[in-house]
Structure 1
């Protein structure tokens, strides 16, 4: 008789060190497993996770306790029906199409260049501390038209908000820090929101203050909650994805060389990084009714933890799923940043990440400028650093040796390729 392996404890240090062996056990033997530590049903196979993101029976009611306390109000992920469609229509245009290309791409390029300039002549740097963790937050602050002197302040709020969302063990100090960050951010924003309503400018915060769809406009709390969500969700995905992208490429020098030679492969490498080492490893849903999945039945009102990291390495969906391969044939970069993606790192369906194209533009610009600035780069400590984290996951440090290239002539900053046009 074959003995089944024990299901993993997703709150254990062993799982945090490397969740992928545990994911394999879950997919093979426990595709639907009630986890006592989180009191939720773990779903690990691609077809089940994709269904949970698309099927309306899987609601986002869980976000009332999971997200709302940190953001200080209801946000897009919590909403459904007309409320969701109208609110999404209010904010989405800023993150795609002409608005993104013409208004915010220069902001992205400038912030990447300024951060790189700080270590352009260094022999080595930590790409996480000096670039990845700062870049998306600086971009968001500048898009909103807020004081650039407050970059560090926003970074602190971002760290606390992400800690709240990732607090699976329910540490009370971490939870309170997240709630406090939400209160401080709201107090900071409210007088600025009132000023922008009276004197709107050309920035994202002014757009949020003045946008109107079907007679609906965002109130003060809607805006502060959305900005809080943008900092945590938009910052965390790009932060960890950038670090993981360069770690994965440096660990595969032949693929790094291919990307250096053909910059159109940057979004391809980004898509494969989202599949291979997704920055968000799990997203929760709540069932509105009893529902049957491949591993059994989930009762109504239950919390379902969709294991993105497991689904994105499902051998039923991908060939050689545990291999990083920017040229794999079962992942389409053409759809990787849309609701038709064949990975689940951004979710799927009605709650597909509204900022996916912004993340794409940020990573494309950042990677292109880093490759231009440093024609040679390798691990300073000789080996690829491991990822850390359970809810969100990525390298905590990425120390690299650098070979600086020539500075571009004044006024001749290399332009990166344009972000893809949104088909919606």
Structure 2
């Protein structure tokens, strides 16, 4: 007599076990609980690729949750907007993150990356003098990835380089708030302080640049119009706050994961060193395999049916991006990093037609996707060019951390010092 199949219970996404290694639990969710209620966050978890992709395009799912999730820290941003208001603001922003508008900022991206990688090499050379025989060492997260995107954003906005550290501190505070699903009051208090500090800093600068003719991103945003409409001072301030996350934390984590993935797959790293046309494939597969954003919220505007489960109107939903991007119903061998993956459309990976969900799909597709691609491209090429024979330091094993966003908090590497 056959034994009845035992269905594992739905995992607790706040448990230490889940936070330590969410990927096996993602499979449990996809296979047995594709839409399940999570009591601690009072949210519905949606984990299969088809359901997540559908939710991004279905008007039954809105971003109304951002009113309480993001507005307290950022103010009102494009992410909270729908309909004509959203279309108008997206039209104002698109020129700066697409085509020639983005090309104008590429030298800033390259300069920041070269400067930081160069500093890493210089520090490694100093370590060599101190007795590390013929090899350089660095923590690529602490020395490079955590600073690079923030420096790019501050420079694009035309703000003083002396404020890099201030913005770095603010963006870590904002991300701690967004990751604070358990509701730690100390983190909330720090985020409240960050919101006030950023507002007091930005509003006088925005008002000053309203009448100027500068070519930095902030000045151009102040002058931009669509159908006679401009963004208000508060909207521009909110967008700058959002940029700290969308242009900082996520790119930081994506670059770290990208390098880690290649270190874990040296044959693929060797291929990319020899053939830089594969860089886009490395980036696209990193976004699928270890995308920096693991989950994102939506709210139902009407009843929604997923398999045999009905989600009520007004429900908060957590779309499990990382689980969807490793759904074996959509990708073959999804737990394998493969830059030659035939079922990932690299040509469309940075557009609204992507077949991964890291950049979201539909009307709220990430406006900064091409900027992220450029930063990741520049960073990877410089790492490959300037850090020869890159490998982990002996005894170091990378460990991911994070819930809402996730990557390796450190990446201890060594590399040969280039000959003078």
Report the TM-score range of the alignment, normalised by the length of the smaller protein. over 0.9
Are the aligned partners of 1:31 and 1:295 in contact in 2 as well (CA < 8 Å)? no
Alignment of 1:53-68 (within 5 A): 53-68=56-71
Name 1:100's counterpart in structure 2: 102
Deviation track 1:70-110 (CA, whole Å, cap 9, x = no partner) reads 11x21111110000000011112111101111x10000000
Alignment of 1:344-363 (within 5 A): 344-363=357-376
Alignment of 1:123-162 (within 5 A): 123-162=136-175
* Shift in Å, 1:405: 3.0
Q: Does structure 1 residue 7 correspond to structure 2 residue 20? A: no
* Shift in Å, 1:406: 5.1
* Shift in Å, 1:230: 0.5
Name 1:23's counterpart in structure 2: 26
Runs of 4+ in 1 over 2 A off after TM superposition: 381-384, 404-407
Residue among 240, 244, 249 paired with 1:236: 249
SS at match of 1:120: helix
Supply the distance in 1 between the matched residues of 2:101 and 2:9 (Cα, whole angstroms). 51
SS at match of 1:231: helix
Are the aligned partners of 2:391 and 2:413 in contact in 1 as well (CA < 8 Å)? yes
Name 2:128's counterpart in structure 1: none
State the aligned residue count. 405
Name 2:115's counterpart in structure 1: 114
Are the aligned partners of 2:396 and 2:412 in contact in 1 as well (CA < 8 Å)? no
Alignment of 1:20-419 (within 5 A): 20-71=23-74, 73-101=75-103, 103-121=104-122, 122=124, 123-405=136-418
- Give me the CA root mean square deviation: 1.0
Name 1:415's counterpart in structure 2: none
* Shift in Å, 1:404: 3.1
* TM-score when normalising by structure 1: 0.94
Supply the distance in 2 between the matched residues of 1:106 and 1:279 (Cα, whole angstroms). 25
Deviation track 1:349-398 (CA, whole Å, cap 9, x = no partner) reads 00010000000000001110111101210011445402101100000000
Are the aligned partners of 2:258 and 2:282 in contact in 1 as well (CA < 8 Å)? yes
Supply the distance in 1 between the matched residues of 2:187 and 2:291 (Cα, whole angstroms). 23
* Shift in Å, 1:295: 4.8
- My pick for the range that moved more, 80-89 or 396-405, is 396-405
User: Any gaps of 5 or more consecutive residues in structure 2?
Assistant: 125-135
Supply the distance in 2 between the matched residues of 1:113 and 1:141 (Cα, whole angstroms). 16
Supply the distance in 2 between the matched residues of 1:341 and 1:282 (Cα, whole angstroms). 17
Are the aligned partners of 1:161 and 1:232 in contact in 2 as well (CA < 8 Å)? yes
Supply the distance in 1 between the matched residues of 2:96 and 2:177 (Cα, whole angstroms). 27
Supply the distance in 2 between the matched residues of 1:313 and 1:3 (Cα, whole angstroms). 23
Are the aligned partners of 1:380 and 1:399 in contact in 2 as well (CA < 8 Å)? yes
User: Any gaps of 5 or more consecutive residues in structure 1?
Assistant: 408-424
